């Protein structure tokens, strides 16, 4: 082979002094890095290491070290290792490079250049331990105005009929990760966590497995272009329905679940043959205009007797604002905007890393556009794709979101080390895999507690941030640009975000 091999990425070492030869690393590494040789444990294939850290986490003696190898390439500021390796790979295979998880390019984070404000003397901060803090959020259509008939005796009769809304006890939901992309144990843990926390989980486009029926009141069922798992039973079970048009990790393209991940159970839930590739095309073949979308929104509502909110999810792109305005008028109850840092089970790397825009800018411009058209209050905005911490949530709410979907962070709460190889189906943590020997590593009970803990902790942190800003109800944080300042952001971006600079 004329190109030969590329240099090692991660170097794995076992300290023989510390190793007690228990063999746990051999058992735990699903990538075959370790091997037992007579009485010894050896690193048989460092090259296979993806730095998922499963071995490190389970070595009882801290005997393993994993280094990111300092590059052997001649250093070059432009021709980075990733760029050159991609060229080597594609020169060899002639194929599109597929990758998992989120964008790996070091775009500067807008979240990290926004700071929240706090109040001092003249408007007192509110102590969340002693005063009520309201994070309850309703997602769905709201009327522009209320019509109330008030009688002279003080009785008031509400004439406006409200559309169904989802009641969230925290603005944090978990986004759509399908059974197929992630394991049933992982989905079960997430479903238990959202049920406990009074919030919601998306099913993804993989259908709803029978064992999740007990959590259906906290699940949002997804209708994607492949229509996998979609029938009336599925629609009726969800608390809300989401039409997926686009996804932040891969705007403009559809989904692909490799046949290896389509085991018997997945095939049954998705309603496709076992072992077949599940390909959802980029467009819905019945949606080529906003009118078509409107028809689908209406038919889903009609099918479920107008009892459920219908969301539409799009990837954050430059004309998101105009699209969202169309969606708002299509009768949808919420628009989900998924930024370019969103995770994925598998995507062409070129899309994952290069297409789309940050969710911060997209949400700000959608919020502004909907306000300009006087319909902001009638439709909810859910932001997703790149939410890493509670501060990000507070910031995106200030920029105009009603609530967020988290994805990667919920997986990290279950052990995911963001190794970026979900596409291979060998996730050593039992998350992005369907192999029974791996999925059983994940105990839904303990993992549910961890995910619920994360949501709980973040909810408390948001309450603290609100209290510091002198705000006791989340409605007053939403779209509140006064509580944000841009730190070293350029003027153009400050304008898009409609945020003043620090010091102003």
Closest separation between CB of residue 25 and ligand SF4, Å? 3
Q: Report helix angle 444-468 to 390-398, nearest 10.
A: 50
Q: Which residues pair with 348 in a beta bridge?
A: 98
Task: For tokens 């590739």, name the residue.
Answer: 277
- Contact characters 84-123, another protein, x per CB under 8 A: -----------------------------------x--xx
> Which secondary-structure segment (H or E) carries 241?
strand 240-244
421 binds, among another protein, ligand SF4, none (CB under 5 to 8 A by kind): ligand SF4
Q: How many CA atoms lie within 13 A of 401 on its CB side?
A: 26
211 vs 473 by CB, closer to another protein: 473
Distance of alpha carbon 203 from alpha carbon 160, whole angstroms: 32
Rule CB under 6 A: choose which of 29, 33, 43, 52 binds ligand SF4.
52
Distance (Å, whole) CA 101 – CA 126: 39
Which token pair is 106?
Answer: 């070091």
> Does residue number 421 form part of the binding site for ligand SF4 (CB under 6 A)?
yes
Query: Residue 21 class from Cβ within 10 Å (0-12 exposed, 13-18 middle, 19+ buried)?
Result: middle
Contact 494, 500 (CB under 8 A): yes
Backbone angles phi, psi at 24, to 5 degrees: -65, -35
Q: Which one of 22, 287, 290, 493 is in contact with ligand SF4 (CB under 6 A)?
A: 22
**Residue 184 is a binding residue for ligand SF4 (CB under 6 A):** no
* Size (the chain), residues: 504
Q: What is the smallest separation between the CB atom of 186 and ligand SF4, expressed in angstroms?
A: 8
Q: Is 377 one of the binding residues for another protein (CB under 8 A)?
A: yes
Contacts (CB under 8 A) with another protein, residues 150-189: 150, 156, 158, 160, 162, 165
In Å, how far from its chain's centre is CA 261? Answer: 20
Does residue 204 bind another protein (CB under 8 A)? no
Phi and psi at 223, nearest 5°, equal -115, 110
**Beta carbon nearer to ligand SF4, 311 or 340:** 340
DSSP letter at 257 equals E
**Burial of residue 121, with CB atoms counted within 10 A of its CB: 0-12 exposed, 13-18 middle, 19 or more buried:** exposed
The residues in 385-414 that bind another protein, with binding defined as CB under 8 A, are 398
Among 13, 15, 112, 131, the residue binding another protein under the rule CB under 8 A is 131
**Which run of H or of E encompasses 359?**
helix 359-372
Q: Which of 259, 283, 326, 470 binds another protein (CB under 8 A)?
A: 470
Measured N-to-C along each axis, helices 359-372 and 320-329 cross at an angle, to the nearest 10 degrees, of: 50
CB of 248 to ligand SF4, least distance (A): 16
Q: Which helix (H) or strand (E) holds 67?
A: strand 64-68
Our CB check for another protein shows the closer of 78 and 145 to be: 145
| Smallest distance from ligand SF4 to CB 430, Å | 8
Q: How far is the CB of 310 from another protein (least distance, A)?
A: 17
Residue position matching structure tokens 């690193």: 43
Beta carbon nearer to another protein, 198 or 259:
198
Pick the closest to residue 100 from 26, 177, 32 (CA basis).
177
Q: Where in 89-118 is the site for ligand SF4 (CB under 6 A)?
A: 100-101
48 counts as binding ligand SF4 under rule CB under 6 A: no
- Residue 126 lies near another protein (rule: CB under 8 A): yes
For residues 386 and 276, give the distance between their C-alpha atoms in angstroms, rounded to a whole number: 31
Q: At its nearest, how many Å lie between ligand SF4 and the CB of residue 400?
A: 30
Taking CB within 5 to 8 Å according to partner kind, which of ligand SF4, another protein, none is near residue 134?
A: another protein
- Contact residue for another protein among 78, 145, 232, 504 (CB under 8 A): 145
**How many other C-beta atoms can be found within 10 angstroms of the C-beta atom of residue 289?**
9
Contact call for residues 305 and 218 (beta carbons, < 8 A): no
80 binds another protein (CB under 8 A): no
Asked if 341 is part of the footprint of another protein (rule: CB under 8 A), the reply reads no
Residues lying near another protein in the complex (CB under 8 A) are found at 119, 122-124, 126, 131-132, 134, 136, 138, 142-148, 150, 156, 158, 160, 162, 165, 367, 371-372, 374, 376-377, 398, 469-473, 475-483
Residues lying near ligand SF4 in the complex (CB under 6 A) are found at 14, 19-25, 41, 52, 59-61, 63-64, 100-101, 411, 416-422, 427, 429, 431-432
């Amino acid at each position: 082979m004329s190109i030969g091999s590329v240099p090692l990425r991660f170097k794995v070492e076992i300290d023989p002094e510390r190793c007690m030869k228990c063999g746990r690393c051999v058992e735990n590494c699903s990538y075959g890095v370790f091997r037992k040789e007579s009485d010894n444990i050896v690193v048989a294939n460092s090259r296979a290491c993806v730095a998922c850290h499963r071995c490190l986490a389970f070595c009882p003696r801290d005997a393993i070290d994993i280094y990111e190898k300092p590059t052997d390439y001649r250093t070059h500021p432009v021709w980075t290792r990733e760029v050159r390796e991609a060229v080597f790979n594609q020169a060899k295979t002639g194929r599109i490079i597929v990758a998992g998880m989120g964008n790996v390019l070091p775009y500067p984070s807008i979240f990290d250049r926004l700071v929240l404000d706090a109040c001092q003397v003249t408007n007192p901060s509110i102590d969340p331990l002693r005063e009520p803090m309201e994070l309850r959020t309703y997602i769905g259509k709201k009327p522009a105005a209320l019509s109330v008939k008030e009688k002279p005796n003080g009785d008031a009769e509400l004439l406006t009929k409200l559309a169904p809304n989802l009641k969230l006890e925290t603005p944090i939901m978990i986004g759509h990760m399908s059974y197929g992309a992630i394991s049933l144990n992982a989905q079960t843990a997430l479903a238990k966590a959202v049920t406990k926390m009074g919030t919601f989980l998306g099913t993804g486009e993989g259908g709803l497995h029978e064992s999740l029926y007990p959590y259906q009141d906290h699940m949002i069922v997804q209708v994607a272009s492949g229509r996998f798992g979609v029938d009336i039973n599925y629609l009726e079970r969800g608390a809300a329905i989401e039409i997926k048009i686009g996804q932040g990790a891969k705007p403009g393209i559809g989904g692909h679940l490799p046949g290896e991940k389509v085991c018997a159970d997945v095939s049954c839930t998705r309603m496709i043959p076992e072992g077949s590739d599940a390909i959802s095309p980029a467009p819905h073949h019945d949606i080529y205009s906003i009118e078509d979308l409107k028809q689908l929104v209406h038919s889903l509502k009609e099918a479920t007797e107008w009892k459920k909110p219908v969301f539409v999810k799009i990837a954050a792109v430059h004309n998101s604002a105009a699209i969202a305005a169309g969606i708002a008028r299509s009768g949808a109850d919420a628009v989900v905007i998924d930024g370019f840092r969103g995770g994925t089970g598998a995507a062409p790397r070129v899309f994952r890393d290069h297409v789309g825009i940050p969710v911060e800018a997209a949400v700000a411009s959608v919020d502004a556009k909907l306000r300009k058209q006087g319909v902001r209050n009638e439709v909810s905005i859910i932001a997703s794709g790149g939410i890493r911490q509670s501060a990000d949530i507070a910031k995106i709410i200030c920029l105009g979101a009603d609530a967020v979907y988290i994805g990667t962070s919920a997986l990290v709460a279950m052990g995911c080390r963001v190794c970026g190889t979900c596409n291979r189906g060998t996730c050593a943590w039992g998350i992005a895999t369907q192999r029974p020997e791996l999925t059983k590593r994940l105990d839904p009970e303990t993992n549910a507690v961890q995910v619920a803990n994360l949501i709980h902790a973040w909810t408390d942190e948001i309450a603290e941030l609100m209290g510091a800003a002198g705000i006791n109800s989340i409605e007053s944080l939403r779209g509140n640009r006064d509580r944000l300042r841009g730190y070293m952001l350029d003027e153009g971006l400050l304008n898009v975000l409609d945020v003043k600079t620090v010091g102003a």
